[in-house]
Structure 1
């Protein structure tokens, strides 16, 4: 089959499916694209009656009828330039109401139409309006495509609907499902939100990804067999059977294709069988064929009595035929909202006729885009946007009454029923009376969450063979490098300084490497963690404990790999007790570094900032380790770093472990070879500057650094306290610091 014929076949099937699609019909074929252009399309038959019954049962016996948005506006605080003047010294500003009264300008209670077209003084001067008086109705079984140029407010609208808008924003209007105001908790129960970028763990397979989501999100009343059956059903529904055992991949990890990865993201939300499916740019980054396939899948999902809303950039003309309704936005204003089949006619009635053989979406986007290339072009295009927005506000009802009388039902149902102001109240998403549209979703216990998350994290680490191999090679390289440099240390006077140097480097080299590695790993998981937390998939504490426990065996393993070559090549103490103590102390030092890195990764969601902060703190710990400078002579302003420096604590504990009970051979040693710091004041130097026995035993070596056997226990206890403190601090930052899904 040639590619052109295949595209035409796909188009014919999609149009036929759209014409047949209705939530009242019986069978619906789900068109699921294959992984390449040459593969045949799969059709997975489903029974609408059975699906609707299961759908209603899962949501408390309620079947969704319509989503209504009334006079929705969204405002955010205007960014304020930073000032060097303290806030308490600045003069107080008059309130908005006082200012309005003094200047005879409209107050905050002005009508929505006035706020749309009047000067910016009609709204509070310290706010920016992102969405301005958006109203629409979408019925179950319909697909709503939200179009608009960059910055038009498409993603902001979806964030408001999904209760993910910034907390400092102010929302006005109402969102109703089945004529009942939605709350944030209810929205999480009945809606699935697919974000623009795929936030999935790269080392898990498609089946494993969906399996763990099913274990976490589906009600505890469902048996394991029912959960797995649901996973199998969703995989088939989205045409992912052929890649179910393929890794997700991403970045430098090979896995499924971009279109398949996007379908996995949709499948994650589809597992809970939501009424409402919201998608932000589901076709971004895909070729035109894959994008058309994604839209066709969404169109077929709507056939199962779901309401599907998504934003999209420049869809193909045949994809345009799959849209039931279109919302066209520009600068947060409504340019058109209604059936897709009437959009071209509407703009023609306003004096903007779509050229023949042109893509209606491209034509409408051109009308709704402000041209900033020149001042004149900006002024002209902005005037066009305001004119078309005002025209839709004033004349769209008469237009739809003439071309589609059925569309008037949407008006009566509430699409723009609140223009008089009686419905312009604070949106029920934020607060107000809770009118649940379904039974609250049951959640599994925290202990069960931790167990499932532990299994998932362990599998994700184990299946990252490339990452494990890279870390193993780098660890072995550093260990053998140190082993070669400090190969077979003796028991003479010269080896004393060499041993101190080995312990200092051992506590500095590998711990520094794991800092960057730990930050990079968590940063790669941050987007998935952020998205799953917003979905309410699990609580923070089970996730954090599961992550720590899953990583612990691998942390121990790499510490042992680092220890063995160094210990035996350097010819350190040969008894088992000394080896175990030395290895335990070294592990605590390395684990302190990993814990510090986790603190920085949680406190600074931007990767570069986290690395910089971690390197800065680690450098201070190195400088205050007591090896490079005597701590008694260090400046008091930074001496406190020595008390929390795990490099110093590890260096002291390793030195005490190795030097305790050791004796060194004594021969004539020149002070030019042995540093005078190691010479006891009781040793008499000869005329030629030599000493017969500067350091006879390990005790003398330790005394040169003011170390005693009692210091060992203090150092080990301090290392344990630092580990617990760092881990607790990291948990606190994860809970209270906004974890950005990606750098912006």
Structure 2
């Protein structure tokens, strides 16, 4: 069956007039098992000495309850705030409602308009999750940041003009008109303020006008004025038809007036649920009235914190408050509107969502996972990356500078190598230094990769684009820089060092360098997908590069490596560019690297004049039965390759293997991102 045509809606309009959504949760319970403690041997006393009894006691794992039968509801057009002391379960409840906890681990029910959300993909389409950290591209302006988000999240049927209009409406809605042309900024580049940055972060996630907004402590780290502005914006968004659920630590009185419903938690248990205005009455009936001059939210948090601290000695206090919350809720339940109604006009949940989400296409219960095709996603990703990098050229310039510096250093150190046995040794040293340098240079960008990974996790958590699109765009977008590095390094080193092969040799050397950069950058990408911080990442990189260099064939020939370590040799990324460069240099049978007069090099006779050494050659010729003159070629390039056991692959096969390594590491990078972005708790 063909899909129904895409329906357009005004993303800046008021949805509340068309539909009504109620997200209800009942008896949510979430338990986690703490790790088992190791078996211990219990001591016993015998004849004044401590001895271990011959049996072990294994303590069973503890089960910790993070949510304990939590119930409530959030309504469209309102803000539900989740409050509580640290460790009370605020983020856990938010994750449960946002489908970030595995269904099999969570007990209880979550319904939207009385219907259970059977598909997690459906919730991704109608909701967004705004994380606490504002990870944004620093050199993009506010307008550009939101425009790129619109290109990701709005369907391709929207024209560029329509997307720009949506961004203009959003900028006005977020109160960012004055900052629209200002870069976001970071520690090294001055940009928008902290409050504006937080609003930009929210705007990125609501550009597609989701029905439900989940926010993890959106005012954390902000001053009171900036915090109030953020909540005021969220209040306006809710009034225009969205359902806002957020965790918040300690709201001011002004912020409290903007909230519609509150749920206070204490170690996963509900101690209050209702509107902020009912807090004085609630605690008055509980027997602990709130002083008039005190913020009700602060009073509640202080009381809960005190009861939690006293729970070890007097557990009745917090239990009494939890019990009172249940009885108080039962007495007031008749005043609430029923949360199980479908909609005011009798439409099903799917019908309501179909009418409210511009890129939702519900046919036979299926919906599209992404707003655009992979080609559009890759184009937008590369365009955004180039825009940010063009204004932040430090990474490219530093890497190019490292390439030039290393190339000049190698060229001056290995200047015009001789064709002699000493020159052969020096050539091998040059190849090992040159090829290992390429890997050190590309992994220097690891910190930038790690920072960008957090942006990736945030954007893909609600299907802004495919993971494969990101990996491919990274590979294509970064390739031109690798070409520049390769051409520059080859141009700076090849002819000054005096390598053999002419232009064809230079061309292969450049391609071999490019293949080394390609596999090395793939390795760096893979590391950025599995490592969590730069310090540990740098240690892993250094260990890996040392491993690659040790087994590449420079320090020990392949024939000399024990058979049980031989597979390390083939896993070394440096083996292939190193041996490819060797074959390019020594593959010509007509090139001689040691003649008869050089037969005495590295011996005691080396210091004698050439005519003396030449006079010794006839005697040696007579003994060996062959004619050796001062110009007789004693060592050819292929003989050097044979001596170094460089004969398992052709020089072009060395290139293909490096290319394959680059693709393999990028595939592993994709797998690492796929596994790492699975942010559901178990």
**Whole-Å Cα distance in 1 between the matches of residues 128 and 198 of structure 2?**
14
CA contact (8 A) 1:71 1:172 kept: yes
In the alignment, structure 1 segments of 5+ residues that lack a partner are: 1-49, 86-123, 401-406, 416-432, 676-681
CA distance in 2, matches of 1:487, 1:453: 43
Match of residue 390 from structure 1 = 323
Residue deviations 1:293-343 (CA, integer Å, cap 9, x gap): 111222222221322222212222222222222211111111111111111
Cα distance, 1:383–1:563 mapped onto 2, change above 3 Å:
farther
Deviation at 1:382, TM superposition (A): 4.7
Cα offsets for 1:413-470 (capped at 9, x unmatched): 469xxxxxxxxxxxxxxxxx98564123552222222222232233333332222222
Is the contact made by 2:516 and 2:577 (CA closer than 8 Å) also made in structure 1? yes
Q: 1:645 aligns with which of 572, 579, 583?
A: 572
Hey, what does 2:403 align to over in structure 1? Answer: 475
Give the distance between the partners of 1:631 and 1:167, measured in 2 at CA: 53
- On the 8 A contact 1:181/1:434 being kept in 2, the answer is no
Match of 1:732 in 2: 671
Q: In structure 2, how many angstroms separate the alpha carbons of the residues matched to 1:313 and 1:493? A: 73
Question: In the superposition, relative to structure 1, how do residues 732 and 137 fare at CA in structure 2: closer, same or farther (>3 Å)?
Answer: closer
Q: Which residue of 1 aligns with 2:548?
A: 621
Q: Which residue of structure 2 aligns with residue 569 of structure 1? A: 496
Equivalent residues of 1:72, 1:174 under 8 A apart: no
Aligned 8 A contact 1:527 1:740 in 2: no
Deviation (angstroms), 1:640:
1.3
The 3 A distance-change label for structure 1 pair 727 and 396 is closer
Partner residue of 1:707?
646
Are 1:51 and 1:304, in contact at CA under 8 Å, matched by a contact in 2?
Answer: no
TM-score norm. by structure 2 comes to 0.81
Q: Do the aligned residues in 2 keep the contact of 1:66 with 1:137 (CA within 8 Å)?
A: no
Distance 2:605 2:493 in 1: 24
Query: Residue 222 of structure 1: SS of its match in structure 2?
Result: coil
Q: Contact between 1:211 and 1:228, CA under 8 Å: does it hold in 2? A: yes
1:670 matched to 2:601? The reply is yes
Question: Is the CA contact (8 Å cut-off) linking 1:259 and 1:291 kept in structure 2?
Answer: yes
Other-structure match for 1:174: 110
Q: Is the 8 A contact 2:311 2:318 kept in 1?
A: no
Q: Is the 8 A contact 2:100 2:679 kept in 1?
A: no
State yes or no: 1:288 paired with 2:224. Answer: yes
User: What does 1:485-504 correspond to in 2, within 5 Å?
Assistant: 485-504=413-432
1:410 pairs with 2:336 = yes
Give the equivalent residue in structure 2 for 1:67: 22
Q: Which string of whole-angstrom CA distances, capped at 9 and with x for unpartnered residues, describes residues 59-91 of structure 1?
A: xx9834242423241324303327699xxxxxx
Per the alignment, residue 454 of structure 1 pairs with 382
| Structure 2 CA distance for partners of 1:499 and 1:684, relative to 1, 3 Å | farther
SS at the partner of 1:438?
helix
**Of 64, 67, 84, which residue of structure 2 is paired with 1:148?**
84
Output the CA distance in 2 between the equivalents of 1:381 and 1:684.
105
Q: Give the distance between the partners of 1:293 and 1:270, measured in 2 at CA.
A: 17
2:283 aligns to what SS in structure 1?
helix
SS at match of 1:553: helix
Find the aligned partners of 2:231 and 2:374 in 1 and give their Cα distance. Answer: 37
Q: Distance in 2 between matches of 1:673 and 1:252?
A: 61
Query: Post-superposition shift, 1:537?
Result: 1.3
RMSD: 3.4
Measured in 1, the distance between the counterparts of 2:619 and 2:101 equals: 77
What does residue 115 of structure 1 align with?
none
| Post-superposition offset of 1:285 | 1.4
Q: Tell me, in whole angstroms, the C-alpha distance in 1 between the residues paired with 2:564 and 2:662.
A: 25
- Closer, same or farther: CA 460–83 of 1 in aligned 2, 3 Å: farther
Shift of 1:653: 0.9
Matched-pair contact (CA < 8 Å) for 1:649–1:716: yes
Is the alpha carbon distance of 1:194 and 1:515 closer, same or farther for their aligned partners in structure 2, counting shifts above 3 Å?
same
Q: Please list the CA deviations of residues 721-740 of structure 1 after superposition, one character each: whole Å capped at 9, or x if unmatched.
A: 32232222332333344467
Contact 1:186 1:437 (8 Å CA) reproduced: no
Displacement, 1:628? Answer: 0.4
**Structure 1 residue 571 displacement after superposition:** 3.1
Name the counterpart of 1:591. Answer: 518
What is the CA distance between 1:148 and its match in structure 2?
A: 0.8
Distance of aligned partners of 1:447 and 1:126 in 2 relative to their CA distance in 1, 3 Å threshold: farther
Matches within 5 A, 1:182-193: 182-183=117-118, 184-193=120-129
Asked whether the equivalents of residues 182 and 192 of structure 2 are also in contact (C-alpha less than 8 Å), the reply is: yes
Cα offset for 1:250? 2.9
- Unaligned runs of 5+ residues in structure 2 are 1-8, 41-59, 342-347, 355-359, 362-367, 607-616, 622-628
Aligned partner of 1:312 among 242, 245, 248: 248
Quick one: which of 147, 156, 168 aligns to 1:220?
Answer: 156
Aligned to 1:379: 312
- Cα distance, 1:231 vs structure 2: 0.9
Cα pair distance change 1:250/1:719, threshold 3 Å? same
- Cα distance in 2 for partners of 1:290, 1:469 equals 37
Change (3 A) 1:570 1:65: same
Q: Distance in 1 between matches of 2:161 and 2:126?
A: 23
Q: Secondary structure at the match of 2:548?
A: helix
Quick check: 2:432–2:549 contact (8 Å CA) kept in 1?
no
Q: Contact conserved, 1:644 with 1:722, CA < 8 A, in 2? A: no
Structure 1 stretch displaced more, 556-565 or 433-442: 433-442
Distance 1:357 1:674 in 2: 101
**Range with greater deviation from structure 2 (183-192 or 701-710):** 701-710
Counterpart residue number, 2:34:
79
Number of aligned residue pairs: give it: 612
Whether the 8 Å CA contact 1:77–1:168 is kept in 2: the answer is no
| Separation of aligned partners in 2, 1:724 and 1:673 | 52
Equivalent positions of 1:15-414 (< 5 A) are: 54-56=13-15, 63-81=18-36, 127-166=63-102, 169-176=105-112, 178-183=113-118, 184-369=120-305, 377-380=310-313, 382-398=315-331, 400=332, 408-410=334-336, 412-413=338-339
The answer to whether the 8 Å contact 1:262/1:282 transfers is yes
Q: Deviations over 1:471-519 (max 9, x none)?
A: 22233222222222212323344222111110111111231332352x3
Counterparts in 2 of 1:64 and 1:477: CA distance versus 1, 3 Å: farther
Displacement of 1:267: 0.8
What is the alpha-carbon distance in structure 2 between the residues aligned to residue 134 and residue 252 of structure 1? 44
Q: Distance in 1 between matches of 2:503 and 2:93?
A: 65
Q: How far 1:713 sits from its partner (Å)?
A: 3.0
Note if contact 1:70-1:134 (Cα within 8 Å) is conserved in structure 2: yes
2:64 aligned counterpart, secondary structure = strand
Q: How far apart are the structure 2 equivalents of 1:714 and 1:272?
A: 49
User: Does the C-alpha gap of structure 1 residues 685 and 410 become closer, same or farther in structure 2, counting only changes over 3 Å?
Assistant: farther
1:513 match = 441
- The answer as to whether partners of 2:518 and 2:659 remain within 8 angstroms in 1 is no
Shift, 1:606, TM fit: 5.4
Separation of aligned partners in 2, 1:591 and 1:664: 32
